[in-house]
Amino acid sequence: MIELHHVTKIFNKGNANEFCAVDDVSLVIDPLVITVLKGPSGSGKTTVLSIIGAMTKPTEGRVYIHSREITSLPERFLTEIRRKTFGFIFQQFNLIKGITALENIMIPAYPTGEKYSFLKKRAMDLLDLLSLSGKATSKIEWLSGGEAQRVAIARALINNPEVVIADEPTAHLDTRLSREFIEVMAVLKNEGRTILIASHDPIIYSSPVVQRVVELRDGRAISEDHRS
Amino acid sequence: MVKRKSDIFLGYVVVNMFVLALLLAHVFVEQRKASTHLAHGIRMVNDLQLTDLSLFTDARYTRHPSMADLNTAFQDHPLSLEHFPSGTLIAPPRHLRRNGLD
Amino acid sequence: MVWIEKQRNILDFALSSLFRRWGKNLALIIVYTIIVFVLASIFFLTHSIKKEATIVLQGSPEIVVQRIVAGRHDLVPEGHSDQLRKIPGVLEVKGRLWGYYFDPATGANYTMVVTDASREKNGTITIGAGVARVAGVQKEDTIPFKSSGGTYTTLEVADIFPHQSELISSDLIEISEEDFRKLFSIPNGSYTDLTLRVRNKNELNVVADKIKRYLPDTRPILREEILRTYEAIFDWRGGLLVVILTGAILAFAIFAWDKASSLSFEEKKEIGILKAVGWETSEVIIMKSWEGITVSLTSFLLGIMCAYVHVFFGSFFLFTPVLKGWSVLYPHFKLIPFVDPYQVSALFFLTVAPYTAATIIPSWRAATIEPDSVMRL
């Protein structure tokens, strides 16, 4: 459902610090599957996720979502796609400090003009799902790493996205929480979503629930591994 | 149940607008009530043949700005700085600048 | 409906944002409110006094004729009124007797005036409420006055002008013609100035020109000029007001500049996060506008309300020292509320628009960056 055709991303093009993060990558992400992008840091995983999630445009190449080309769309449409299709879980979580977990979760849905009470209920349900109801009104700063990550997951799910993208989700988590994370992803996949994870953590890419691993190095896709 | 922040703010705005409306009503009511007072004032000014309000009684030209002559407004020196506080509130009347040079 | 819900949602977030730095924002609102309060109080006070003056002084003489000798006021001699009566269109010429009496005991200046009512009443005076206060006298008390010859004349207070008329009569002493002339050694037939009534109001300027021709040593002052004097009091060009207005504008400018000149790292990051989770650039801008509007609108509404209460219910007590100046005698009066909608709207725009714009401008750039950069922070 998501296709990358010869995608290249060069940062600071034309300047002295020109840097090619992604070099001629062609990739197909299958629906309803957990795919992991594996590789060391600097291999271009984050950039690929960024391009897939319509957060940046490739320097060369095209991206298709449901056979619809998105690379040449204006920013407004990209935002809509980002909002409706994808749910992002950032490596640093990127939650907004100083406000509650509940509000953090609701933020991506504010501009949709949905009625506040419905929104709130959905957010509470998500917190329930992730066993975090007690922390709904806590400020983000007071949450532990694992709790913060679950809030980040809930936030990614508030707009009911088809695709969940996670960038190095276990970088700040211990083994137990890392295993918990991949289990949550499995649940989401079974609900009918497509999961895409970038990680160099063996707990993730060696997990039995992962169906596909794409290896990246120096901005290139060097191997693919399909498991059933 | 904590009220939603935007509701609180919008509520505040509504209350304020309401109070402002009341104050506006106050303006109209007071102006209506004052019409007799003002009519008396006009008659008194007429009877006593007055030309100025008794607002600033510190100096001649502040007490009767409409009657002031050019010299007193500048207190004998054209660049003399204002030394009566009320003088800083009143500019020399326009007709001065015209007539004084006749 | 959806649009309203969307705005309410975004407003919620904007308020959360403000609340996070509540100390700073509270201080901002307080200072802003004070500025609005001072400016609005000045507007309400000055506009009301001006309005009352221009209404009440419509009873002033149509033309006042002053005699100028060596650039200064001098008494109008006998023959002048006869000359003026010859001017076609002049209905009536009356001599006015008025002047200032300085009371060394109190340090106050009184305005003494001879009127039709008091002209014949030798030995008695009617005084203004301010005079009564300063001199500490009541009806039937007497006040000694020192004449220019050095002798003292005692006059009895027959009546006191009503309190409601203080703005007009506070410092007046209504005296008889004989007493006035004796006090100030003004010879019979001489007057302080002359007042005229004309048949045709449209002819006032023509008559004024004729006056200047018939009596070249005089200066006619028309009623419209008297009124215009009072339209110009508290003029923004006048000393104190310029200082205050400039100060206020500078303060607004400083706030706006402070807001506009920089976005903290955290604020930039937040905008990036919003973009990353799917907020459009326009929605980020709307959010920032709400931030600006909330602060400035709150201050404006609060400031205006407090100013109104201060001026019309609280007798503008904060400004009385300024209005009083060095006067010993000061009228106690209650203001009739007159509000100039232009002033209020100008203040509204000055308060809300620049600040809101200043909140939006730095965010604009941050809002248009690609969300990708957020991933890398």
Residue B7: its chain C contacts at CB < 8 A? Answer: 8
Q: Do A97 and C20 touch (CB under 8 A)?
A: yes
Residues 6 or more apart whose CB falls under 8 angstroms from that of C274 comprise A107, C283, C284, C287
Question: Are C21 and C105 part of one and the same domain?
Answer: no
**Domain range summary for chain A, segments of one domain joined by +:** 30-43+79-226
Q: Do B51 and C60 touch (CB under 8 A)?
A: yes
Question: Are C243 and C315 part of one and the same domain?
Answer: yes
Question: Are C247 and C219 part of one and the same domain?
Answer: no
Asked if the C-beta of A171 comes within 8 angstroms of chain C's C-beta atoms, the answer is no
Q: To which H or E segment does residue A29 belong?
A: strand A19-29
Domain boundary among C174, C207, C230: C230
| A30-43+79-226 carries CATH number 3.40.50.720 | no
Residues in chain B: 102
Q: What is the ipTM of this complex?
A: 0.88
User: Beta A19-29 vs A2-11: how paired, if at all?
Assistant: antiparallel
Tell me, what's the pLDDT at A205? 86
Asked if the C-beta of C348 comes within 8 angstroms of chain B's C-beta atoms, the answer is no
Q: Quote the minimal CA–CA distance from C354 to chain A in Å.
A: 26
Q: Which amino acid is at A176?
A: R
Tell me, what's the pLDDT at B79? 44
Its pTM stands at: 0.84
Whether residue A41 is predicted with pLDDT greater than 60 in this model: the reply is yes
Percentage, residues of chain C above pLDDT 70: 97
The tokens for C191 are 């007057």
Domain of residue C244: give its range. Answer: 2-57+233-376
Overall number of domains in chain C: 2
CB-CB contact of A35 with A214 (8 Å): yes
Average pLDDT for chain C: 87
Summarize the confidence of residues A209-221 as an average pLDDT: 88
By CA distance, what is A113's nearest residue in C?
Answer: C6
Tell me, what's the pLDDT at B76? 45
Question: Are C343 and C300 part of one and the same domain?
Answer: yes
Question: Are C35 and C106 part of one and the same domain?
Answer: no
Closest CA to C329 of B56, A91, B94: B56
Best mutation target among A13, A47, A107, A153 (most C Cβ atoms within 10 Å) is A107
Q: Which amino acid is at A192?
A: G
CB-CB contact of C160 with C129 (8 Å): yes
Q: Do C322 and B50 touch (CB under 8 A)?
A: no
Question: Are C202 and C275 part of one and the same domain?
Answer: no
Question: Are C296 and C204 part of one and the same domain?
Answer: no
Per residue in C281-307, pLDDT (tens digit) is: 889 999 999 999 999 999 999 999 999
HEC secondary structure over chain C:
CHHHHHHHHHHHHHHHHHHHCHHHHHHHHHHHHHHHHHHHHHHHHHHHHHHHHHHHHHHCCCEEEEEEECCEEECECCHHHHHHHCCCCEEEEEEEEEEEEEECCCCEEEEEEECCCCCCCCCEEEECHHHHHHHCCCCCCEEEEECCCCCEEEEEEEEECCHHHHHHHCCEEEECHHHHHHHHCCCCCCECEEEEEECCHHHHHHHHHHHHHHCCCEEEEEHHHHHHHHHCCCCCCCHHHHHHHHHHHHHHHHHHHHHHHCCCHHHHHHHHHHHHCCCCHHHHHHHHHHHHHHHHHHHHHHHHHHHHHHHHHCCCCCCHHHHHCCCCCCCCCCCCCCCCHHHHHHHHHHHHHHHHHHHHHHHHHHHHCCCHHHHHC
Q: Quote the minimal CA–CA distance from C141 to chain B in Å.
A: 23
The tokens for C8 are 């309410």
Domain boundary among C200, C230, C260: C230
Domain boundary among C230, C248, C271: C230
Residues 221-240 of C with CB under 8 A from B: 221-222, 225-226, 228-230, 232-235, 237-240
Question: Are C100 and C177 part of one and the same domain?
Answer: yes
The tokens for C364 are 């604009």
Per residue in A60-97, pLDDT (tens digit) is: 899 999 888 888 888 888 888 888 899 999 888 889 98
